Amino acid sequence: SFLSIINTEADRMNRLVKDLLQLSRIDHQQEKWSMKESNLIALLKSIIPKIELSARQKQQHLNVLFDSEAKILVMIDKDRIEQVILNILSNSIKYTNKGGRIDIDVIESSGNAKIVVSDNGIGIAESDIPRVFERFYRVDKARSRAMGGTGLGLAIARQIVEEHHGTIAIESQEGRGTTVTVALPLAIRRGQRGID
């Protein structure tokens, strides 16, 4: 049992160091971005299986609401946007009780692709909402510690999304649930632009 604790803590330390190094690289414009035109729907479809197991272990219902055959083109660094979505989805799983519900949708609106993840979990008090994007900020310190992680996920997510000229927003009601919306500009499709 001691070895298992050491193993868990070593993993936590490893994630912490990686997260801090990444934030430092972004702060100093040293992060390498590989922006490519990508189908956001295909990316989301490939992410779902990676979190399905942890949702199932908590008997949570993961509802994919978008049309999985659709095509929404965005100019993104796929690995980084995957990291953002994974953090948002794993937050929903972590901060939603057993048997809860997590919905994931994508909509196109006013030149943006909006990824909307909502859960019916523990929610966030109004006064804490603006602070969750701060580095190391976690709402319930004792409970959060038991859940693992470091409180850097959303801070990194915001930096990544802003690098894509997008936005990330949280709406939440304590005891009712949370909705996170990531908006990314749609790729300008060649051949569809007027000749000037």
Residue ranges with strand state E in 77-193: 101-109, 112-119, 167-173, 177-185
Residue 151 near Mg ion by CB under 5 A: no
Single out the residue of 38, 54, 83, 144 in contact with ligand ATP (rule: CB under 6 A).
144
Q: Return the DSSP state at 143.
A: H
Which of 31, 52, 64, 149 forms a contact with ligand ATP (CB under 6 A)? 149
User: CA-CA-CA-CA torsion for 44, 106, 82, 167, nearest 10 degrees?
Assistant: 180
Distance CA 135, CA 154 (A): 8
| DSSP state at residue 186 | B
- Among 120, 178, 181, 184, the residue binding ligand ATP under the rule CB under 6 A is 178
- Tokens 């997510």 -> residue: 157
CA separation for the pair 116, 104 (Å, rounded): 6
Q: Which does 182 bind (CB under 5 to 8 A by kind): ligand ATP, Mg ion, none?
A: none
Q: Residue from 22, 44, 77, 87 that binds ligand ATP (CB under 6 A)? A: 87
Helix (H) or strand (E) run with residue 156 in it: helix 153-163
Q: Looking at 124, 182, 183, 184, which residue binds ligand ATP (CB under 6 A)?
A: 124
Q: What is the rounded distance in angstroms from the CA atom of residue 175 to the CA atom of residue 34?
A: 39
Span from 61-69, 104-112, 142-150, 184-192 in contact with ligand ATP (CB under 6 A):
142-150
Please answer whether residues 150 and 135 qualify as being in contact, where contact means their C-beta atoms are separated by less than 8 angstroms.
Answer: no
Say how many residues touch Mg ion, by CB under 5 A: 3
Per CB under 5 A, does 92 bind Mg ion? no
Q: Under the criterion CB under 5 A, does residue 100 sit at the interface with Mg ion?
A: no
91 touches Mg ion (CB under 5 A): yes
The torsion region of residue 55 among left (phi > 0), alpha (psi -120 to 50) and beta comes to alpha
Report the partner that residue 92 touches, choosing among ligand ATP, Mg ion, none (CB closer than 5 to 8 A by kind).
Answer: ligand ATP
* Residue 181 near ligand ATP by CB under 6 A: no
Q: 60 or 91, CB closer to ligand ATP?
A: 91
Tell me which residues touch ligand ATP (CB under 6 A). 87, 91-92, 95, 119, 121-124, 132, 138-139, 144, 149-155, 178
